[in-house]
Each structure stands twice: as structure tokens, then as C-alpha cells.
Structure 1
Amino acid sequence: MIVAAALLSTAALGAGMKVTYPANETAGDTRFNDLMEIMRMALEKTTPEFGPFELEASSEKMNEDRILSELKNGKSINIAWTSTSTEKEKDLLPIRIPLRKGILGYRVALIQANKQAEIDKIGTLIELKKLSIGQGIGWGDVKLYEANGFNVTTAKYDDLFKMTASGRFDLFPRGISEAFAEEERNVKANPTLAVEKNILIYYPWPYYFFFNKSDAALQKRMEAGLRKMIKDGSFDVIFKKYNGKAIAQANLKGRKIFRIKNPLLPKETPFDDPSLWFNPVSQ
């Protein structure tokens, strides 16, 4: 019995903490490769203090609504990444470190190419709000755009590119690090798809790691790992690896910026620490 117990204990130690994250909704989707790299590195950097870990994707693909439901109910995943909101921080445990330094709040749009001339005439936020917007089903941005007076159409992620190219709506706002890669992947099938050239929409939109309310141990470990990464510079290395090219392509200083409010943002958002946030002025 003692030998068996010892073997079980050793096996458990070897297996370590099991970390299950949501599988991508779409095969070949690379949007979250940076966050998966950050997640793995944070776990690796905390192995000396917290022990070994097993990291795996969930067995089923999930959209954002399903991810939040599964995490809240403590079912098939125990970590996820998503934009923050007062509601999410009430239901889940956040780590208030913006994983992409808030860059997702700087939005350039995918458009039907022949709409560029019409969009170039936009000079005010009132005029911008007359344009229709496309977003994914269940995305947090939907409520934000609607709260700011925009007309929003929702669809499955894969369908949004064809809908944009065919003119079903005027703008499909994307994060700087998303727009150019998505155009490149989808323009062959949708030749009229293009990145809009002159407008930048900004709203505070931090992405965090979230956990089930009962999983403070994993939250503590991940936060310790992220703090180590920020201190040793590896966090910024990953940020530049995945965002540097797109920042240059976006020509941020040459765009007209439209600022809209984020009424979903919790008061605990760490705006008092500028080191956590992307600043386009310094680029």
C-alpha cells in the first residue's frame, strides 16, 4: 500500500498542473498564436516555484460565447483569453495585464475595395456612425459598437470576409495585428477584399487571461509568470514578434483617428501603469 501510494504521488508530481485552453474555432486560425506562446512561456517560467504542467487544447472547437460558458461552469477548459468587461470580471477571475498591450483597441478595417473613395469623405464621428459594421457572433465588440450608435451585423468568423468583400456592410474593424494577415489569407477567395487606408478607430480594449472563480492557484501562477516576462523583457519580445510588421504596415500616424467610448470597461483597468500599454505616438 505504501509503495502504491508513493507511485501514485510520483505520477501526480510528474503530470503536474493540467492547463486546458479553448481550441480555435476555425482550423488553421493563427489569430491567437501570440497568446498561446505567452501562456506557455508564463507556465515555463514558473515551473521552479509551482512545478510541472500539462498544456493542451480542448477537444472541441468553441466560439467566444461557448468559451465563456465553459470557463464559468468549470467544465472543459480552465484558462481563456478575451476582452474584459464588468460582467466578465464579475463571473471570472482576471489577470489585469493587457496581453497585447491594448493594441486590439486600435482598429483598422477590412472593406470592399471600391468603398475606399466613399470612406475617404468621412470627416466626423457622426458621419462614421452612418457606416455599417460587421462583427463575429458573440464578440464583445458588438455591444460596444451598438452602445456607440453603430449598426452592427453579426455572422460566423469565416463568413465575414466574403460578406465584407460583397459589400454586405461597410467596415469590418480588425486589430492592427489581424487585418493585414486576414486580408492576405482571404483575398484570393475574395478579390475585392482590402484593408481601408485612412481611418483608425480607437477604444480601450484590453485582452486578459481569465480563469474560473475557484481556480485561484492557476491564476496566481500565470500572473507570476507574466510579471517575470515583463521584467525580463520576453513579454515585449513576443509583442514585437507578432505585431511589429503590422504596426509598420498600418501607417498609424497617417490615419485619421476616431475615438469611441467603451462603456463595458471595469474601473479596475490598470491605466495608471503606462508600461502595460501600446503607445502609437512612440512608434
Structure 2
Amino acid sequence: MKWLILTFSLLWLPAVAQEARVIRISIGADPYIVELLTLALSYEQTLSKIVSVRNVVSQARAIRLLGKKSGVDVSWLVTNSQREKAARAIRIPLVKGLLGYRIPLVHRDNRHALSAIRYIGDLRSFTFGLRSDWPDHEIFEQNGLHVMSFSQEQSGYEMLAKKRFDILPSDFVSIESALSDPRLHADHYVAFYYPSAVYFFVSHDDQLLYEQLKKGLKRALQDGKFEALFLKHFSSRVKALDLENKTIIELSNPTLPPSAPLEIPHYWHTQGK
């Protein structure tokens, strides 16, 4: 009987040891983010299972509910000081700062309006359309540019199509759907850039997950798997940006915390790389 109990115990213990930890994320995550999160967790001996949940509907709600019973365990957000106070940021830019590039959307009738632009001062006569809750709104205003607000993304495209303002700065993801409107045009002459970082965020209380993700992302950077995954998802989009042949107008970003690792070159996409 003792032998049977011992045998059962030996069979049972490995099963317990291999039980996967559930990591909850918001449903609808970009495949790149899911693959990068999976990669970062893969360096640990502890098994993890990523599960999508439906009850988190906004970025503000996601960061408030990190680690909570009705929330998620990991969020990925553009960083700012408020978010880094509310949660713990793994300060490794997930898309290598690529979302800091903005392509000017203009009306097709004005597709050559920016051909002579060389400096930020050349843009003072233009009106920029930006959604009121986008980080860009404050950034463009703080850089002395004239901004008109709108409340919904689709209404912004419609306002541009009706020439209510001159330029809608768009990220390289959103612009693909916006160009389905034949009245809109992606400018070929200029791109805006400001330093910006998307990080993984976890609860202040989840030290274990914080360490796992930090170590995993650093190892992925060291062995080249991070770069390979980045190129898999973004190389064609980076090529389409054609940054080498555009005038880059650099803006300061007052919302970026001083803790951003701007001094580590391989954390960031470099123009012409």
C-alpha cells in the first residue's frame, strides 16, 4: 500500500509542477504583440498560458484593472508619466519607437502642399487635425503648431476630406485604412517624428511577471529573436514609409518620461537601418 501511495505521489507531483500560469490580456491584440509576449515568456522554465478576456474595453480601464480579478495581467500602452505611476512599465520599446513617426494625411487636391517644407517653422500656417484624446494633440500644440480637435477618428477623416483643416498626422498602421477614401492622400515629402515608446505594463504588485518579461525581452534582444520578429511584422511597412527620401520634422515630446531609454540605440528603429 505504501508503495502504491508513493508511486501515485511521484506521478502526481510533475503534473502539478507543469501547471501553466494564466496570463490574461485584452481580446483583439495585434498578432505581433501576442507573439512578442509569448517570446518573452518562453525563456522561463515556468509554463505560461496567454488567455484573451473580453471585459476590458479601454486603455484607461485596462491599466486600472491590471492584476485585478476582473482585469488583465499585461497591457501594452504608449507610455507617459501618469501611466508609469499607475502601473509598472517594462521600459523596452515594443515597436522600437516606430509609432513616433507620423505621416501627413492631406486632401488629394493639396498633395503637393508640403513639397517645400524643410523646418518646423514652415508649418506655422497649416492647421493640424487631431483627436482630442490622442497624445499627438498635446505634442503638436506644445511644439507651437495650430491644432483643431475632433472627438472620433472617422469624423477626423471626414473633416479633412471637407478641407476643415490641412493635415491629419497618422501613424503607419491607421493610415492604411484611411487611404480607402479616394479624397485623402499620404504625403510623399514629409514625415513627423517624436520619441515615443510602447511598453508592456503590469501591476505594481506583480514582481514575478515584471521580472519575467524584463529578462525575456532582454534575452530576445541579445539573441536576435526580437529583431527577427520585428522585421517579420514591420519590414514592409517601414519600407513603405520611405523615410530616407522624406524630410523628417522632429518634434519634442513633453509627455515622454525622463526614464525612457533613449540612450540605448538598439532599442529603437533607426532611419535608414
Aligned AA for 1:207?
V
Match of 1:27 in 2: none
Which residue of the other structure, out of 213, 222, 225, is the alignment partner of 2:216?
Answer: 225
Distance 1:116 1:265, change over 3 A: same
**For 2:113, what is the secondary structure of its paired residue?**
helix
Q: Distance in 1 between matches of 2:13 and 2:143?
A: 55
2:138 counterpart of 1:143: yes
2:6 counterpart of 1:38: no
2:113 counterpart of 1:118: yes
Which residue of the other structure, out of 228, 233, 236, is the alignment partner of 1:245?
Answer: 236
Structure 2: unaligned runs, 5 residues or longer:
none
Query: Is contact 1:17-1:54 (8 Å) kept?
Result: yes
Q: Distance in 1 between matches of 2:47 and 2:67?
A: 25
2:66 counterpart of 1:76: no
Q: CA deviation at 1:237?
A: 0.8
Match of 2:27 in 1: 23
Query: Is contact 1:153-1:169 (8 Å) kept?
Result: no
If the length of structure 2 is used for normalisation, what is the TM-score? 0.83
Root mean square deviation, CA, Å? 3.0
Q: Report % sequence identity.
A: 25
Aligned AA for 2:33?
L
The number of residue pairs the alignment matches comes to: 266
Distance 1:72 1:15, change over 3 A: closer
Distance 1:111 1:224, change over 3 A: same
Alpha-carbon displacement from aligned partner over 1:35-78 (angstroms, at most 9, x marks no partner): 222112212232x2xx1222122213623333333338774112
Distance 1:13 1:134, change over 3 A: farther
Query: Is contact 1:23-1:62 (8 Å) kept?
Result: no
Q: CA deviation at 1:261?
A: 0.8
Query: Is contact 1:72-1:91 (8 Å) kept?
Result: no
Q: CA deviation at 1:6?
A: 11
Query: Is contact 1:14-1:52 (8 Å) kept?
Result: yes
Q: CA deviation at 1:214?
A: 1.1
Q: CA deviation at 1:252?
A: 1.0
Q: Distance in 2 between matches of 1:169 and 1:84?
A: 28
Query: Is contact 1:65-1:138 (8 Å) kept?
Result: no
Structure 1: unaligned runs, 5 residues or longer:
25-29
Q: Distance in 2 between matches of 1:159 and 1:203?
A: 25
More helix by share: 1
Q: CA deviation at 1:18?
A: 1.8
Match of 1:175 in 2: 171
Distance 1:92 1:124, change over 3 A: same
Q: Which has the larger radius of gyration?
A: 2
**For 2:134, what is the secondary structure of its paired residue?**
coil
Q: CA deviation at 1:278?
A: 1.2
More deviation, 123-132/238-247 = 123-132
Q: Distance in 2 between matches of 1:215 and 1:12?
A: 22
Match of 1:103 in 2: 98
